[in-house]
Structure 1
Amino acid sequence: MVLVWAGPGGFFFCDSDDTGQAKGLCTQGTRCSMLISIVLKLVSPTVKTLPGFLGRANYAATLARLGEFDPALAQRIHDSDGPKPLTCSSLLNLQGGAKGITVSPEMPVQVRITGLIPEVSALLTRALIEQPPETWELEDHRFLVQEVICDPAQHVWSGRTSYELLAAAQLTRFEEPDRQVTLEFVSPTAFKSKEMTVPVPLPGLVFGSLVERWNAFSPLTLSPEMRRYGEEVMAISRYRLESRPVVAKDGGQRIGGVGHVTYRALSGDRYWLGLMNMLADFALYGGVGSQTATGMGQARRRR
């Protein structure tokens, strides 16, 4: 049986069984647009002080590893001007300041990589899970890879799903979708708006960014009016944020917000509430805002 969800953005299709529950299409390989989030647990063999933000270094390490298995794809990712089909974090569990980050053998650290299209997700699976690297180099410092995780039961920042299954999770719900969602921003998050950088995760900017990233890579097209819905219908009901700088490639600073925000829909039908919930779940994989390939905009839904 095929389930169809109609809305202003078009139609969503998903296979289901006779009970109306969505099938796990990810197990079918080619039928699924896989999304993946992989956490690497690293340990430094020596005490070393590194720059305070390592997102760009993790991006370089990721491309180097992918290049060992598929040089052409790694080069295409590097050369692409638009949104990158992956995200790379700085250290997830250790925040650095102006004086940098000091790592040691007694303090394991974690980095994360996500894939947003099947080709990249499959290559990440091969290069990190099926054939895990022994070392991971960040800013010319070689860490030992202690563990590779892709299971949300083991690490909340890891997992795998698909665009189809994220849509089906809302499509097959009999109860009313949640009217509020909470997002955690673990790395500085900022947005480009009207030629300015906005370091505050306002509803229209957050959900506009998520729907643009979804539509850039997903086979299921969503209504771009989600940005306007965020601006006009969604409100911030609770937040705890602080500003944090990131040193850019050119030596300048970008400011982003870190913390958590609860967004509440003041009105809306099932379609728009479903999109809000679906995009909140997608944030774990897609990231939010600008510079997500190099460490900014690492976000996830908190329940």
Structure 2
Amino acid sequence: MEAEIVGLKFQLESMDTITLEPHYMKGLHAWFLHQIQAYDPELSAYLHDGQGEKPFTLSRLMGPMQWRNSHWLLPARQSYEFYLTLLSGPVIEGMVPWFQQLPKSLTLARQSFRLQKVDLFLPAIAYQDLVMGWNSTKKLELSFLSPTSFRRQGNHYPLPDPRNVFQSYLRRWNDFSGYLVEVEPFLDWIQQCVLIDRHWLESVKTTAGKQGQVTGFVGSVAFALSKKAHDEPDYIELYYALGKMAPYCGTGHKTPFGLGQTRWGWKTGTIHQFLPLQVQFQEQALGQRIDQLTELFLSQRKRTGGERALNICHTQAVILARRELGESLLAIATDLQMPYETAKTYSKRAQKAFKAQAEKS
């Protein structure tokens, strides 16, 4: 049977000292899509614009980084890596020509890494293989190595609620496996029968997302089944298959931009084992700055009630906080999916309000 899912590790070397903006993941994402576009524009368009779940995940760069002057500094002649997973047989087949002629370098913000090699990180298998090899009495332990979050009622939900976790896996399963599962009955079973046996979690704010920040969690969770679960053996089989799929598909949303990186097994320690200290500091600092500015702008309004006022103040805060980090207004407007002139107006109002408060103080 042909491969339908696979995980790859790309190993890089910085050719010179490299400086990257906080939101460099957008550049890595764009590099990958441009690579595919060069030989298969239709496949690239599907990866970028296709309806439903994205058939790939992409991790952040992993390796030695320093946080200086609101940018990442990557020393020369250092090793880095990132992970790419593919969730669709046709996508894997369509990318074979690229794998056979991989580029010798990777360019981010006009700065180059040498692409040393690409290795298998997760074996290339078929979806049917996921249902084999699991002990139905064994706890399912998963670790979340990058901030993980879900969308719930229009907001971010940074907790590994079993229903949310397995719903995110089931969406990918239904889109790509070819074995369609009725959603609500299975999720009802998850809610009734899947327990959190133990966990070690910490929350962190990250710069991914259109609104400048996402609150997510990192850490480890052990899921267990209640006695009632064994009334539905088919669901138990699917439960373990989805757990086995987790490192391939990632968990939650924004997985093509580095969120929700998931691994099998339990990883203990502190948050620094999951995020470098500089990443934790920068991301939490940005989130705190946005919260601080939002409260400031709200306090200056005559009418502070209502969701619209909060949204306006939050958008102003996001733009000003990211401008303080040195991002261009055009890049921010593109990320927030708003016209440049609108972003410019928000930026001017935010700067004026901040200046007025400074003068008052």
Matched residues in 1 for 2:254 and 2:222: separation? 23
Check whether the contact 2:65–2:74 (CA below 8 A) recurs between aligned residues.
Answer: no
Q: Is the counterpart of residue 158 in structure 1 residue 122 in structure 2?
A: yes
Check whether the contact 2:64–2:74 (CA below 8 A) recurs between aligned residues.
Answer: no
Q: Does the C-alpha gap of structure 1 residues 124 and 36 become closer, same or farther in structure 2, counting only changes over 3 Å?
A: farther
Q: Does the C-alpha gap of structure 1 residues 235 and 82 become closer, same or farther in structure 2, counting only changes over 3 Å?
A: same
Q: Is the counterpart of residue 288 in structure 1 residue 255 in structure 2?
A: no
Q: Is the counterpart of residue 46 in structure 1 residue 16 in structure 2?
A: yes
Question: Of 246, 260, 270, which aligns to 2:206?
Answer: 246
The equivalent residue for 1:124 is: 95
Question: Of 246, 258, 266, which aligns to 2:218?
Answer: 258
Q: Is the counterpart of residue 203 in structure 1 residue 167 in structure 2?
A: no
Aligned residues: 261
Q: Does the C-alpha gap of structure 1 residues 249 and 237 become closer, same or farther in structure 2, counting only changes over 3 Å?
A: closer
Q: Which has the higher strand share?
A: 1
Matched residues in 2 for 1:256 and 1:239: separation? 15
The equivalent residue for 1:85 is: 55
RMSD of Structure 2 on Structure 1 (CA)? 2.3
The equivalent residue for 1:6 is: none
Q: Secondary structure at the match of 1:133?
A: coil
- Cα deviation, 1:218-247, whole Å, max 9, x if unaligned, reads 111234233223322212122222222222
Q: Is the counterpart of residue 228 in structure 1 residue 204 in structure 2?
A: no
Displacement of 1:249: 5.5
- Cα deviation, 1:78-101, whole Å, max 9, x if unaligned, reads 222432111111124568879443
Matched residues in 2 for 1:266 and 1:276: separation? 13
Structure 2 unaligned runs (5+)? Answer: 267-361
Structure 1 unaligned runs (5+)? Answer: 1-24, 27-31, 151-156
The equivalent residue for 1:18 is: none
The equivalent residue for 2:239 is: 276
Question: Of 257, 262, 280, which aligns to 1:299?
Answer: 262
- The residue type paired with residue 109 of structure 1 is Y
Matched residues in 1 for 2:219 and 2:234: separation? 28
Question: Of 175, 198, 216, which aligns to 1:216?
Answer: 175
The equivalent residue for 2:76 is: 105
Matched residues in 1 for 2:74 and 2:241: separation? 37
Q: Does the C-alpha gap of structure 1 residues 105 and 122 become closer, same or farther in structure 2, counting only changes over 3 Å?
A: farther
Matched residues in 2 for 1:251 and 1:266: separation? 39
- Cα deviation, 1:93-121, whole Å, max 9, x if unaligned, reads 56887944332234311111111112211
The equivalent residue for 1:134 is: 104
Displacement of 1:145: 0.5
Matched residues in 1 for 2:63 and 2:181: separation? 33
Larger gyration radius, structure 1 or structure 2:
2
Q: Does the C-alpha gap of structure 1 residues 250 and 277 become closer, same or farther in structure 2, counting only changes over 3 Å?
A: closer
Matched residues in 2 for 1:47 and 1:265: separation? 50
- The residue type paired with residue 65 of structure 1 is Q
Matched residues in 2 for 1:100 and 1:258: separation? 23
Matched residues in 2 for 1:301 and 1:95: separation? 26
Q: Which has the higher helix share?
A: 2
Q: Does the C-alpha gap of structure 1 residues 131 and 230 become closer, same or farther in structure 2, counting only changes over 3 Å?
A: same
Displacement of 1:50: 1.9
Q: Secondary structure at the match of 2:38?
A: helix
Q: Does the C-alpha gap of structure 1 residues 231 and 101 become closer, same or farther in structure 2, counting only changes over 3 Å?
A: farther
Q: TM-score normalised to the size of structure 2?
A: 0.66
Matched residues in 1 for 2:76 and 2:194: separation? 45
Q: Secondary structure at the match of 1:285?
A: helix
